Structure 1
Amino acid sequence: MDVGVTVSWWAALIGLALAIILILWKLNPVYSLLLGAIVGSILGGANLVQTINILVVGSQSVVGTILRVLAAGMLAGVMMESGSADTLARTIVMKLGDRLAIFALALATMVITAVGVFIPVAVLIVAPIALEAGKRMHISKLALLVALSGGGKAGNIISPNPNTIAAAKGFGVELSQVMIADFIPALFGLAMTVVLASLLRNKGSKVLDEDIANLTADTPERTDLPSLKSSLVTPVVAIILLLLNPIGSIFHIDFLTKFNLDALYVLPIAAIIGAIAMGQGKKIREYAQSGMGRMTDVVLILIGAGAIGGLITNSSLPQQVINLIKASHLSGTILAPIAGILMAAAAASTSTGVILATGSFGKAILGFGVAPLAAAAMVHTGAIVIDHLPHGNYFHVTANAMHMDITERSKGILYESIIGLTCAFVATIMYGFLHL
Structure 2
Amino acid sequence: MSTCGALIGLLLCIVLIIRKASPVYSMIIGALVGGLIGGLGLTTTVTSMVSGIQALVPAIIRILTAGVLSGILIRTGAAASISQTIVRRLGVKHVFFSLAFSTMLLTAIGVFVDVAVITVAPVALTIANRHSISRLKLLLAMIGGAKCGNIISPNPNTLIAAENFNVPLSSVMAANVVPALIGFVITVWVIVRLFPDKYSSKIEVEDSGSNESNEDLPPFWASMTAPVVTVLLLALRPLVDITIDPLIALPLGGFAGMVAMKRWSVLGDSLEYGLGKMSSVAILLVGTGTIAGIIKASDLNSDLLALLGSWHISDFMIAPVAGVLMSAATASTTAGATIASSSFSTAILNSGLSGVWGAAMVNASATVLDHLPHGSFFHATGGCVEVPIAQRLRLILYETWVGLTLTVSSIGCCKLWIWLM
| TM-score, L = length of structure 1 | 0.90
Opposite residue 250 of structure 2, the aligned amino acid is L
| Matched residue type, 1:284 | L
Q: Deviations over 1:378-404 (max 9, x none)?
A: 111111112112222222222222232
Corresponding residue to 2:245 among 237, 262, 273: 262
Q: 1:201 to 1:40 in 2, by over 3 A?
A: closer
Q: Give the CA deviation at 1:407.
A: 2.1
Give yes or no for the alignment of 1:289 onto 2:272. yes
214-223 or 295-304: bigger deviation:
214-223
Partner Cα separation in structure 2 for residue 74 and residue 373 of structure 1? 26
C-alpha deviation, 1:282, in angstroms: 4.4
Distance in 2 separating the partners of 1:95 and 1:160: 27
Change (3 A) 1:19 1:410: closer
- 3-state SS of paired residue (1:337): helix
Q: Aligned to 1:77, which of 66, 71, 78?
A: 71
Question: Partner amino acid for 1:176?
Answer: S
Supply the distance in 2 between the matched residues of 1:44 and 1:404 (Cα, whole angstroms): 42
CA-CA distance at 1:339 after TM superposition: 1.4
5 Å-filtered alignment, 1:26-425, equals 26-196=20-190, 199=193, 203-208=197-202, 211-212=203-204, 221-247=213-239, 256-257=240-241, 259-425=242-408
More displaced stretch, 299-308 vs 130-139: 130-139
Indicate the structure (1 or 2) with the bigger Cα radius of gyration: 1
Between the aligned partners of 1:137 and 1:85, the Cα distance in structure 2 is 24
Separation in 1, partners of 2:346, 2:26:
23
Q: Which moved more, 1:26-35 or 1:215-224?
A: 215-224
Distance 2:396 2:261 in 1: 38
Q: 1:49 and 1:87 mapped to 2: Cα distance? A: 53
Aligned residue for 1:127, secondary structure, equals helix
Preserved contact between residue 10 and residue 329 of structure 2 (Cα < 8 Å):
no
**Counterpart of 1:426?**
409
Structure 1 stretches lacking a partner, 5+ long: 1-6, 248-255
| 2:176 and 2:360 in contact (8 A); partners too | yes
Deviation at 1:434, TM superposition (A): 5.3
Give CA-to-partner distance per residue, 1:127-157, whole Å, 9 cap, x none: 1111222333442222211111111111111
Aligned-partner Cα distance in 2 for 1:337–1:83 = 36
CA distance in 2, matches of 1:68, 1:200: 39
Structure 1 moving runs of 4+ over 6 Å: 216-220
Please say if residues 141 and 204 of structure 1, whose CA atoms lie closer than 8 Å, have aligned partners that are also in contact: no
Q: Residue 199 of structure 1 aligns to a residue in which SS?
A: helix
**Closer, same or farther in 2 for the Cα pair 1:129/1:158, shift >3 Å?**
same
- Distance across 2 between alignment mates of 1:313 and 1:197: 36
Deviation at 1:432, TM superposition (A): 4.6
- Name the amino acid aligned to 1:190: F
Amino acid corresponding to residue 348 of structure 1 in structure 2: A
| Amino acid of the structure 2 residue aligned with 1:100 | H
Matched, 1:13 2:7: yes
Count residues in correspondence: 418
How many angstroms does 1:201 deviate by? 7.7
CA offsets 1:198-219 (integer angstroms, 9 cap, x no match): 52587122242xx14x558999
Structure 1 residues 432 and 8: CA distance shift in structure 2, 3 A:
farther
For residue 197 of structure 1, report the CA deviation from its aligned partner. Answer: 5.9
**What do residues 158-188 of structure 1 show as CA deviations (whole Å, max 9, x unaligned)?**
1111111111112111111111111111111
Q: In structure 2, the residue corresponding to 1:62 is in which secondary structure?
A: helix
Q: Which residue of 2 aligns with 1:251?
A: none
Distance 1:368 1:38 in 2: 30
Give the AA of the match of 2:235.
L
After superposition, the Cα gap between the structure-2 partners of 1:201 and 1:131, relative to the gap in structure 1 and judged at 3 Å, is: farther
Mapped to 2, the partners of 1:201 and 1:369 lie a distance apart of: 40
| Worse overlay, 214-223 or 347-356 | 214-223
Q: 2:236 is matched by which residue type in structure 1?
A: L
Does the 8 A contact of 2:16 with 2:26 survive in 1? yes
**Preserved contact between residue 305 and residue 318 of structure 2 (Cα < 8 Å):** no
For residue 78 of structure 1, report the CA deviation from its aligned partner.
Answer: 0.4
In structure 2, the CA distance between the partners of 1:101 and 1:9, relative to structure 1 (3 Å rule), is closer
Amino acid of the residue matched to residue 133 of structure 1? Answer: I
- Change over 3 Å in CA distance of 1:17–1:361 after alignment to 2: farther
Q: Which runs of 5+ in 2 are unaligned?
A: none
